[in-house]
Amino acid sequence: MDEKLSECVRGIPRLDNDQDRGGGEITRQTNETSIPRNETWRELLVLLAAQKYKKFMEQELIKIKNDASSLIIAAEHEAELNAIKLDFTGRSGKLTQLVKEVKNIPEDRRPEIGKLANEILRSVEELIVSRAQELTGRKRAQLRKMVFDTTRPGIKPHIGHLHTMSQVLRDVVDVFKTLGFQAADGPEIETDHYNFEVLNIPQDHPSRDTQQTLYLDTRGSHATPGEIILRTQTSAMQGRIMEKAKPPLRVIVPGKNFRYEQVDASHSFEFWQVEGFLVDRDVALTDLFGTIDYVLRKLMDKRIKIKFATTNFPFVEPGVDTYIECTVCGGKGCSFCKMSGWSEIMPAGMIHPNVLKAVGYDPQKISGFAFAIGLSRLVTLTYQMDDLRLLTNPDLRILEQF
Ligand code: DAH
């Protein structure tokens, strides 16, 4: 009797007539099976043990089948399913082990339990296969959903555009390039020397008052107090460039300027200008007028009305103010043009001999003109904006309109 079997024998209850182990006649009937007459006690015990072992095997097999089935059905991934498969039907899997036990069952019960074990093994294997198919089917369906249909029209990405200032600045640079001008860049933190002195604006000159200068706090540095400022005009680059380069020169300097200004519809503490100058031999005022006229008609409407008036800037002689008919009100008068119908857009003039001297040129031989386009103003006039502040407003509803 093998080990498992003897275990089962141990659990068998004693029979009433247990004295005569030698061979008394037994007519007892169990639920499971009828016990044949004239069996010895030993045979009877073995019989009952076999009966109990069979039952135990049956129960075990059914329990394992149920456990495996519920795990297989709940498996959501192939890897999970593979682990279950290994656990139950692998070489040392629970079910495989139990099937191996079948050989220990007494011969007469073996076919019955063997059949059951094989059926259960097969049904568990089948369940694994069908669940695996289900999972791959589901995966395929998901993949199919993800397939990229190249024939479908794409989703148009939202692409922004350059800020209006940048657009107009590019146009300005392009127009001047066609006239042979080069573009230069310069520092926003400037010295009093280039911003004023070189430009014929000495310390006590009254025109400094109009330039609302912002001074940098240089305490603790080597700079002379009041020497370092935020540039108030891109004209500051005239001196820097002319000092280093020999005529003929055609230069534009786009850039930002800063002044301590009360902000309103047409003024700001920071504003863009495009400074420009040309130095050569025999440059005349008419060259300046022609250049301005050409550039403004290129940048704005060809039919735009332009007028010149005399004005005074210390670094030009004569000084000229360029006006265009106000595009916001069409010349009728509005708050933007201060009811005059005209907008000042491009101050200019013939470069003052003192400036030419300060940079080391001979004013007898060299002459030139200079101008500045109020770029912020040009943008607002081009797009008929009635307020300069719109240019620094980050609201996309505004920016997207231009
Ligand atoms: N720099 C002057 C200002 O910002 C504008 C100006 C006037 C520039 C006349 C020039 C010029 O080049 O010739 O107020």
Q: How sure is the predictor about 16, in pLDDT bands with cuts at 50, 70 and 90?
A: very low
Q: What is the pLDDT of residue 34?
A: 56
98 neighbors 60 (Cβ within 8 angstroms): yes
Q: Phi and psi at residue 275, in whole multiples of 5°? A: -75, 150
CB 370 near ligand 1, within 6 Å: yes
Range 305-328 average pLDDT:
95
Residue to substitute in 233, 251, 270 for testing ligand 1 pocket (most ligand atoms within 8 angstroms of CB): 233
Kindly state the percentage of the chain with pLDDT values over 90.
55
Q: What is the pLDDT of residue 97?
A: 87
Q: How sure is the predictor about 306, in pLDDT bands with cuts at 50, 70 and 90?
A: very high
Q: Among the atoms of ligand 1, which is closest to the Cα of residue 316? A: 13
Asked if the model's pLDDT at residue 45 lies above 50, the reply is yes
**Rounded distance from Cα 370 to ligand 1 centre (Å):** 8
CB 372 near ligand 1, within 6 Å: yes
Closest residue (by CA) to atom 2 of ligand 1? 233
Q: What is the pLDDT of residue 18?
A: 40
CB 233 near ligand 1, within 6 Å: yes
pLDDT for 365-389, tens place per residue? 999 999 999 998 889 888 888 888 9
Q: Phi and psi at residue 374, in whole multiples of 5°? A: -75, 95
Q: Which of 26-40, 127-141, 279-293 has the lowest mean pLDDT?
A: 26-40
The answer to whether the predicted template modeling score (pTM) of the entire model surpasses 0.95 is no
Q: Among the atoms of ligand 1, which is closest to the Cα of residue 275? A: 12
User: Domain map of the chain by residue range?
Assistant: 3-13+23-146, 164-399
Q: What is the pLDDT of residue 114?
A: 86
pLDDT for 179-230, tens place per residue? 999 999 999 999 999 999 999 999 999 888 888 999 999 999 999 989 999 9
255 neighbors 188 (Cβ within 8 angstroms): yes
Angle at 272 between CA 271 and CA 278, to 5 degrees: 140
- In order of 32, 210, 284, 305, 321, the CA distances from 342 in angstroms are 118, 21, 26, 9, 11
Q: What is the pLDDT of residue 33?
A: 52
Architecture of domain 164-399: 2-Layer Sandwich (3.30)
Residue to substitute in 201, 207, 235, 345 for testing ligand 1 pocket (most ligand atoms within 8 angstroms of CB): 235
More confident residue, 377 or 64: 64
Q: Among the atoms of ligand 1, which is closest to the Cα of residue 211? A: 14
Q: How sure is the predictor about 254, in pLDDT bands with cuts at 50, 70 and 90?
A: very high
257 neighbors 347 (Cβ within 8 angstroms): no
Closest residue (by CA) to atom 3 of ligand 1? 233
Beta bridge partners of 273: 255, 374
Asked if the model's pLDDT at residue 127 lies above 90, the reply is yes
Q: How sure is the predictor about 101, in pLDDT bands with cuts at 50, 70 and 90?
A: confident
